[in-house]
Structure 1
Amino acid sequence: MKAMLFQSIFFAALSGVPLVASAALPKRGSSLELVNGPFFTFHYKTDRPSEKNWIGIYSIYGEGPGKEHSIYWDWMRESEETKRIDDTHFNWGAYKAYLLAESGYTVLAGPIDIFLSGDGPVSFNIEKFTTKNAREGEKFETRVSGLLHHAPDPNTKYSKESSDADWVSVSEDGIISGIPSGSGSSTVTIRATASDRSTATIDVTVPVVASGKPLVTELKVLSLNLWYGGTKVKDYNRKQIFAIANSGADIVGLQESTHGHATQIADALGWQSWQGVDSSIISRYPISERYGAVTETSVAVRVALDGDNNQVILHNCHPYAYPYGPYDPCFNEKDADAIMNTEKRASRARQIQNIVGAMAGALDNADKVPVLLTGDFNAPSHLDWTDATNSSHCGIGQFDWPTSKVPIDAGLIDAYRKLHPDPAADPATTWSPIYLKNDDYNGRREPMDRIDFIYYKGNLTPEKSETYMVGNPKPEPNHSDNEWPTDHKGVLVTFKISPPPNIQIHGVLSRSRPLDL
């Protein structure tokens, strides 16, 4: 396959060898280029070799080194080398690569842009899509090109096929823009035409609020564990995009989103992201501030739902899974004291205490800026393990799980139990629709529990709370073709937003961690 140049974008076919253009201009005597061979094979040269030099691959739409986590990275320790890096974590789309110095963010060479193609014909991941809200009389813009799948190269063109709104424009690169002339929902059908002449259409709805009205009065929040990024299920990226778009969520706390999976989902949806090492957050609305991690598996952001007039702070976490507390009574016939010792040994309580402790300033200010905490807590709730439900929990009655006691004692409210207070009538299990039996314990029945949560404090009123899942997934080991791409159910809460008073943003975190390495 010969080298070709696509407007400074390199092209790598998912099913074959990359098509290569000339390398980016070297910086400080260094160069980086994508070379012929298996895709994601790079040749680099530098006059500043170091054991700590590295390559970082980022979303084409992101801000790059020092501003966001890389999707993938690897060491580049020689003065000159040709090296292939792991490509299994990348889906169709555009990326950029940098050669970086000394475990930091000084750019030695790059960026070079890379495009990973599909195998055609083109199609959209979903048939219908709803954007963020627009406001009458104000400029609106959003991108839908990320929803296209299987494009053979980066030369696909987009056009407006039809619309019930004259104000809507669609650029050739898939940007919807314009100034709404009235309120209500505006719809547009967009056609994508690839270089191989295959085409696909998608129906897009733009909700438009009246001039002078709040941009967002209802907020949907989803917590979802991706299960090793989704890689346990075939065609997982498309299924993740469908599941999240179908939920109607505005902000999503993702766990097990390693290797840039959150960034890739957000790019597809035209959203913003804060990609962590494990936990990540994606948002339909602008992320106005990204905070450093409090623990190894947590992230936090501030989201501007309506500029400075309406904001929320969201923390997302994934405390350590093992040793897992419910196994003590259900598999090992241990008592409540033994369970508590397991929780302390697992460090979950410490992690949650650190996270909630770092939220103290934001919680004090929650009447002005609401606060949310999402996550797969890898432990049940004391609101569920009660004397009335002991038969469902291997004979253990009321048990004060630290991971739920700590946030509630700090003033946070369990959004699901706020609307469904009876755990006997509505257990709302999220673990697990896939693991029904435990092979490590001779095929005994896996304990079923609610371990995924959304907590809140401030001017938010939950109107609907539910567990969320698409389709009827088959349990393991027959899970690979499931439409639902994870081993948890999600938790989805619809909040009504009360009119906020004057906004005051307080610091919400006490410490931060490096983005990469």
Structure 2
Amino acid sequence: MQFNIWLGGTEVEGGREGIADTIAATSPDVVMLSETDADRVRNLLDDLRERGLAYVDDGNPNDSTVISKSPIIEHTTFESWSKAVISADGIEIAAYSGHLEYRYYVTYLPRGYGGGTPPPHETHDLGWKKIPTGPITDADLILRLNRASRRTEVTETVLADAEGERSKGRLTILAGDFNEPSHLDWDHRTRDLFDHNGAELPWSTTKAIEDAGFLDSYREINPDPVRTPGFTWPSDNPGAEVKNLTWAPTADERDRIDFIFYHPADRLRLIDSVLVGPSRSIVRSERVEETGEDRFWLPTWTWPTEHKVVLSTFEVAERPSARS
């Protein structure tokens, strides 16, 4: 499970309880958390114990955290990332949880808004405001600013580490809130949809992960970005005012920015990938029902976040399957 918990559930009434209820309802073996800190993780583990669920955490003091039903035998902290090595019935899995830089959110430029790019970089004068001259679709500029965020750079460090983990015979799974879309979602099929305004953009962080041999679990199960866009942000949240759920109030700012990647292995088989959360999103400051073919595990409990959760199911074998 990839789960941005929106500042520990503090932004909606009952949000803290809603985080634990989300995990209790879906019962994932491993959860990658974003927008955490030590107190928020401690509270969550206490709340899960009250629901009869025992999880352990990786002890990362920073924003991204891994919690697991199985023992965590090693932990390493990276810039914007945390790694937990999990021992599940003797099978060792290196699980990486990331929460990447939120500024340089240049997916907004084609939508006619500044992306919060800081000085001295180009477009810094726009802040997060609406662009008076309209959308910016210059791919070279957008990708250059995106690289300046260092989201790709810090992720490449983790990808190198994951290669070392695989050399030890460990499975590797990588998840996070990237604050950046996927190159699989901004191609010729969507160039005139979702306020892309003709832009086709090979977003560099997901491309680097793909180039390292990882597969996008949601796109493996749901390959069509038009029929199953898989938007994870901005999600509707009935307990929050719309103005607190949008940063580009006159645009269609929906994107898939929460991901679960896995590196293929004989012992690891992807079974399914779905979204957990409301089936409505925020579009131009309106709560809008999604009309695609994405499948939702709809909450009957307080929804705690402005993201949707990604839940991917894998089958793990003790030994590599016999080759024919």
State TM-score, norm by structure 1: 0.49
Q: Residues of 1 paired with 2:251 and 2:111: CA distance?
A: 9
Confirm or deny that 1:303 pairs with 2:86: yes
| Alignment partners' CA distance in 2, 1:283 and 1:337 | 41
**CA offset at residue 373 of structure 1?**
0.1
Shift of residue 245, structure 1, vs aligned partner: 1.1
| Partner-residue secondary structure (3-state), 1:359 | helix
In the alignment, structure 1 residue 461 sits paired with structure 2 residue 263? no
In structure 2, distance between residues paired with 1:363 and 1:338: 36
| Aligned residue number for residue 284 of structure 1 | 69
Q: Aligned partners of 1:303 and 1:439: how far apart in 2?
A: 36
CA distance in 1 between counterparts of 2:209 and 2:41 reads 25
Alignment match, 1:318: 99
Q: What is the rounded CA distance, in whole Å, between the counterparts of 1:244 and 1:343 in structure 2?
A: 32
Report the CA distance shift for 1:364/1:327 in structure 2 as closer, same or farther (over 3 A): same
Which structure 2 residues correspond to residues 437-456 of structure 1 after superposition, within 5 A? 443-456=249-262
Aligned pairs for 1:193-342 (under 5 A) are 222-269=1-48, 270-276=54-60, 277-291=62-76, 293-295=77-79, 297-306=80-89, 309-331=90-112, 332=131, 333-334=135-136, 335-342=138-145
Give me the whole-angstrom Cα distance separating, in 1, the residues matched to 2:286 and 2:225: 30
1:356-381 per-position Cα deviation (integer Å, ceiling 9, x unaligned): 1222212445xx32100010011010
Instruction: Tell whether the 8 Å contact from 1:471 to 1:484 is kept in structure 2 after alignment.
Output: no
Answer yes or no: is the 8 Å Cα contact 1:471–1:483 preserved in 2. no
Query: How far apart, in 2, do the equivalents of 1:423 and 1:474 lie?
Result: 18
In 1, the alpha carbon distance for the partners of 2:250 and 2:172 equals: 39
Aligned-residue Cα RMSD (Å) equals: 2.5
Q: Distance in 2 between matches of 1:340 and 1:470?
A: 31
Counterpart for residue 123 of structure 2? none
Alignment of 1:305-384 (within 5 A): 305-306=88-89, 309-331=90-112, 332=131, 333-334=135-136, 335-365=138-168, 368-384=169-185
Aligned counterpart in structure 2 of residue 417 of structure 1, from 199, 216, 219: 219
Q: Which residue number in structure 1 is paired with residue 295 of structure 2? A: none
| 1:269-295 deviation line (CA, Å, top 9, x unaligned) | 22101243100111111112222x121
Question: Once the two structures are aligned, what percentage of the paired residues are identical?
Answer: 29
When residues 440 and 405 of structure 1 are mapped into structure 2, their CA distance, relative to the original with a 3 A threshold, is closer
Letter in 2 for 1:271: Y
Matched residues in 1 for 2:246 and 2:233: separation? 16
Q: Could you report, residue by residue, the CA deviation over 1:417-448 in whole angstroms, capped at 9, with x for unpaired residues?
A: 1111111111000011149778765x312410
In the alignment, is the contact (CA less than 8 A) between 1:262 and 1:281 conserved in 2?
A: no
* Deviation at residue 346 of structure 1 after TM alignment: 1.6
Residue 428 (1) aligns with residue 230 (2):
yes
Aligned equivalents of 2:14 and 2:170: distance in 1? 38
Which protein has the bigger strand share? 1
Please state whether the residue corresponding to 2:32 is helix, strand or coil: strand
Name the CA distance, whole Å, in 1 between partners of 2:221 and 2:282.
29
Q: Structure 1: where are the runs of 5+ without partners? A: 1-221, 502-517
1:243 touches 1:470 (CA, 8 Å); kept in 2? no
Structure 1 runs of 4+ aligned residues shifted over 4 Å read: 435-441, 470-478
Contact 1:254 1:281 in 2 (8 A): yes
Q: Quick one: distance in 2 between partners of 1:471 and 1:345? A: 33
Q: Does 1:406 align with 2:208?
A: yes
More helix by share: 2
Per-residue CA deviations over 1:2-51 (Å, capped at 9, x if unaligned) read: xxxxxxxxxxxxxxxxxxxxxxxxxxxxxxxxxxxxxxxxxxxxxxxxxx
Point out where structure 2 has 5 or more consecutive residues left out of the alignment.
49-53, 113-130, 288-300
